[in-house]
Structure 1
Amino acid sequence: MKKIAILFLLFFSSNLFAQEDIISELKFTGLKRTKESFLKRLIKTKVNTVYDSILVSEDVERLKRLPGIASASYTITQDNTTTILEYAIVENFTIIPGLRIATANDGSFSYRISAFEFNLFGNSQLLGGFYEKNIFNSYGAFWEHPFLFSDKLGVGLSYQDRTTQEPVFFTEGEKDYRFNSKSLEASLLFSFDFNNEAELGASLVKESYIFEGDNAIPNTPLSLSADKLIYKAVYRYVDLDIDYQYFDGFISEFTGQYVQFSEGEAPSEDFLGSFTSLRNDFIYYKKVKTRGNWASRLRLAAAFGNNDSPFAPFTLDNQLNIRGVGNTVDRGTAAIVLNTEYRHTFYEKGWFVVQGNAFVDVGSWRNPGENFSQLFDGTSTKLYPGVGFRLTHKKIFNAVFRLDYGFGIGSASTNGIVFGIGQYF
């Protein structure tokens, strides 16, 4: 009897393993611009391998993160001899014009127009550029191919020539400079696995500050210029589930830079010295029932090596961290910023979505020459709750029209509207 039981167990086990589902064919439906060969190279499930539902689910999420894909799902079709895996794709429209309108630091009207293609040649290449009028003229061009060499290795190139009026905050008061930066950057892009990405890059930069205006301050420079070389390293951990306008999951992005200055026309170590900057963004998304989305971002940043310079790397600005505060209203050598908001879908029909949101932005800065304790003593803390709305096209990549109004709390606080394309974070 014991021998019969063993024989039965062996027969059952061998029959079980013999019936493993081997994928005999991979199909994609719904493709118009995206190349099927590119997607087959990108996904980890291959023909003539054992069907793995966990791996296929990861492939679906990987596809949904591509700019060219709005949504993806899969089906399995089986008969006695074949197992067919079919991915159903809903593509995004990826040629995106952009417009940003704001008030410049001198009170004049400023704007930025751009155009980007996020799925060039159907394989997720990015190509685009911008022109900006912000008192002065600026422009830039960008190209990126995240999967040029393989499904794990790509490259990016960019050139920017930016000229703006920048306030710099000395102990004696504020002084306006005409700031110009010409930069050429090259990066290697790494995609290690489903959750982990990295970037290594270097930039050649020519930078100058020229005093323009009536707010002269004694013993401060009238002009500064220098060449610099910036080394950059970025690491991202991404565990994110995307369902059109709803995000659920976690992102951590670390950016480290070493900025090495060399002598220009009139450099000064007191103002333009080499330094290291570190920043980490922790972003958490939570789907709330069927129509809600809670999103939070914690940003930690610090610079080391040139702590006394008023030309500090981290700025307090509407578009970057605190909605309603104004354009470049302060600079710091360290920062702690928390943005949290609840987004709710009030109307959704077909491709069109209307969302409302309520948010709280709070942050503190370490001013040049101060200790890290200033981040916690309340002297540089900004608190801005607010409300806004979003108009979203579900089948155009990043097509989120955003309008927020922030209410400043505390003495000398301001209120303001912030307009942009894409979610704030």
Structure 2
Amino acid sequence: MKTSTIGFYFCLYCLLFISVTSVAQELKVVDLKVQGNKKTKASFIKKIAKVKAGATLDSIALEEDIKRIKRLPSVAHAYYQVFKAQNEGEYNVFYTIEENFTIIPSANVYTTNDDEFAFRIGVYEFNLFGQNITFGGFYQDDIYSSFGVNLRAPFLFSSKIGLAFNYQNLTTQEPVFLDTGTADYRYNNTSYELLGLYQFNFQNRVELGVNYFNEDYSYKNGATGPDVPLDFDVNKLLYKLIYEYNDLDYDFQYVSGFRSIANFQYVISTENVLPDFLIGWNDFLYYHRIGKKGNWASRLRLGLATNDDSPFAPFAVDNNLNIRGVGNTIDRGTGVIVLNTEYRHTIYDKDWFVLQSNVFVDGGSWRNPGGDFGDFGDSQNFRIYPGVGLRFMHKRIFNAIFRIDYGYGITDDATNGFVFGIGQYF
């Protein structure tokens, strides 16, 4: 037999031997153990984990599980360890959890230089029954009183399927912008919302549901128009679809990665007072670590709605939504482009407490109701608000970030003001 032929068969034999040996020595998870948890149920962590007892030991799956666990409201930090079991090729996996305190008050307060003042306070449990179920409610005072109740159980039925229910009775004073000037209306929205939640995989999820609500507008003062009703009460049905891609990684106060949230809604009116309309927007969020103490964060929102020439356009220019320091619902539009970008720097970090500074620029533009895309470039619709802020953080309490920002407008007819709240602005 020729030497080359012998060499060929020898190489083939080696490959077969290596393949058989690799299969025979495939590493196996004998048991998955959860430790460090006090309130969070170990059975819940095992339910959502990709790594299971009896499965092949996979470092990629381990890393993915830890990223998933660190996103949970009940978890401040998590890591894994792998130890050999008694038999060859078998291992025990330990997931160690540092828990958050999860009964959290919420608060948002904002003012502008025209002495406007409003607030929203509430309390939420983010780990009900140790299953990372969120339940709570809020009270709001914004000239009028409002309240709401929220329940969200993303893993209620399995590691992929959950449910959410929201109720709110929201009353505000809303400016309506007419050709003859601005009118103030007392606006009430009473709504009931039910959503089904489904996770395709670690990075992709969807929400689908329906919202039945009533809108009640009552004229208070200001300009009027012949085609604009002073008072009307209408019931509506809203169909909602949310799709999220999430590849964020958390390390206490630091965040890195990309996230995209698309929200589509179709609103049907039971009367002809207001037309049916479509609305959709997408938030693109990007976070990047800078050195050991810096974090750059940006959010771009692009949105469009049915372009009706109506004073009740859906996209608002608002302190607590998009432009810090601008005021409470100072304008409306049927399209929106908003960019929020900020640099966060840790000034002090010891044990449980973190002090973080913040330098930001909020900018955006809106399409006028019935207008065209050229409105986005109109200087009257464009607003830029740079500013500074501080963050006071507790590293062992979920979302325990008290923020204070001061925004100062540099475009035409600008205002300035403080925005207070719980949690990062985005």
Q: Deviations over 1:93-117 (max 9, x none)?
A: 1100122233599956433220100
What code does the residue aligned with 2:413 have? A
**2:66 corresponds to which residue?**
60
CA distance, structure 2, for counterparts of residue 189 and residue 5 of structure 1: 52
Give the one of 118, 124, 127 matched to 2:126: 118
Q: CA deviation at 1:185?
A: 0.4
CA deviations over 1:119-140 (Å, ceiling 9, x no partner) = 1001111110111122211111
Q: Is the 8 A contact 2:109 2:419 kept in 1?
A: no
Q: What stretches of structure 1 of length at least 5 have no aligned partner?
A: none
C-alpha displacement at 1:9, in angstroms?
4.6
Residues of 2 paired with 1:107 and 1:228: CA distance? 34
- Contact 1:35–1:123 at 8 Å: present in 2 too? yes
- Are residues 1:404 and 2:411 paired? no
1:148 aligns with 2:156: yes
Structure 1 residues 9 and 162: alpha-carbon distance in aligned structure 2, compared to 1, 3 A threshold: closer
Give me the whole-angstrom Cα distance separating, in 1, the residues matched to 2:15 and 2:243.
49
Per-residue CA deviation, residues 241-298 of structure 1 (Å, 9 max, x unaligned), is: 11111110000100000010112xxx53xxx211000100000000111111000111
Aligned residue for 1:39? 45
Specify the alignment match of 1:128 in structure 2: 136
Q: CA shift at 1:399, angstroms?
A: 0.9
- Provide the alpha-carbon RMSD of the alignment: 1.7
Q: Any idea what the Cα deviations from partners look like across 1:323-375, whole Å, max 9, x if unmatched?
A: 11111111111010001000000100011101101111110001112112111
Q: TM-score, normalised by structure 2?
A: 0.94
**Is the Cα contact below 8 Å between 1:96 and 1:116 reproduced in 2?**
yes
Does the CA-based 8 Å contact 2:29-2:55 persist in structure 1?
yes
Give the C-alpha shift of residue 150 in structure 1: 1.1
Structure 1 residues 234 and 5, CA gap change in structure 2 (3 angstroms) = closer
Contact 1:155 1:189 in 2 (8 A): yes
- Which letter does structure 1 place at the counterpart of 2:63? S
Structure 2 distance, partners of 1:229, 1:104, is 34
Give me the whole-angstrom Cα distance separating, in 1, the residues matched to 2:86 and 2:24. Answer: 12
* Equivalences for residues 219-298 of structure 1 within 5 A: 219=226, 220-263=228-271, 268=273, 272-298=274-300
Report matched runs for 1:169-248 at 5 Å. 169-213=177-221, 215-219=222-226, 220-248=228-256
- Taking the aligned partners of 2:112 and 2:243, their CA distance within structure 1 comes to 33
Counting aligned pairs with the same residue, the percent is: 51
Change (3 A) 1:20 1:168: same
| 1:324 counterpart residue number | 325
Q: Residue 175 of structure 2 contacts residue 329 of structure 2 at CA under 8 Å; is this kept in 1?
A: yes
- Structure 2: which amino acid aligns with 1:51? L
Distance 1:6 1:380 in 2: 72
Instruction: Say if 2:24 is the partner of 1:22.
Output: no
Alpha-carbon distance change, 181 to 171 in structure 1, aligned in 2, over 3 angstroms = same
**Partner-residue secondary structure (3-state), 1:379:** coil
Decide whether the 8 Å contact of 1:227 with 1:261 is kept in 2. Answer: yes
Secondary structure of the structure 2 residue equivalent to 1:141: strand
Show structure 2 runs of 5+ residues with no match: 1-5
Pair 1:377–1:104, CA change in 2 (3 A): closer
Pairing of 1:344-383 with structure 2 (within 5 A) = 344-383=345-384
CA contact (8 A) 2:367 2:376 kept: yes
Answer with 373-382 or 95-104: which moved more.
95-104
Which amino acid is the alignment partner of residue 78 of structure 1? K
On the 8 A contact 2:112/2:418 being kept in 1, the answer is no
> Could you say if the C-alpha distance between residues 163 and 36 of structure 1 is closer, same or farther in structure 2, counting changes exceeding 3 Å?
same
Displacement of 1:148: 1.2
Q: Is the 8 A contact 2:177 2:331 kept in 1?
A: yes
Report the counterpart of residue 302 of structure 1 in structure 2.
304
Could you tell me the TM-score, scaled by structure 1's length? 0.95
SS of corresponding position for 2:131: coil
Aligned residues: 417
Deviation at 1:224, TM superposition (A): 1.8
The C-alpha deviation readout for 1:390-418, integer Å capped at 9, x for no partner, is 11111111111111111111231111111
Deviation of the 1:376 alpha carbon: 2.3
Kept in 2: contact 1:181–1:208 (CA 8 A): yes
Cα distance in structure 2, aligned partners of 1:201 and 1:11: 55
Note the C-alpha offset of 1:378: 3.0
Q: Structure 2 CA distance, aligned partners of 1:140 and 1:225?
A: 20
* Greater relative contact order structure (CA < 8 Å, 6+ sep): 2
Residue 146 of structure 2: SS of its match in structure 1?
Answer: strand
* Distance in structure 2 (CA, Å) of the matches to 1:340 and 1:7: 59
1:71-100 deviations in whole A, cap 9, x for unaligned?
110011115513011111011111001222
**1:50 corresponds to:** 56
Q: Hey, what's the Cα distance between the residues in 2 that align with 1:117 and 1:105?
A: 35
Following superposition, the deviation at residue 6 of structure 1 comes to: 5.0
Q: Secondary structure at the match of 1:413?
A: coil
Q: What secondary structure is seen at the aligned counterpart in 2 of 1:24?
A: strand
Partner of 2:3: none
Equivalent residue letter for 2:378 = D
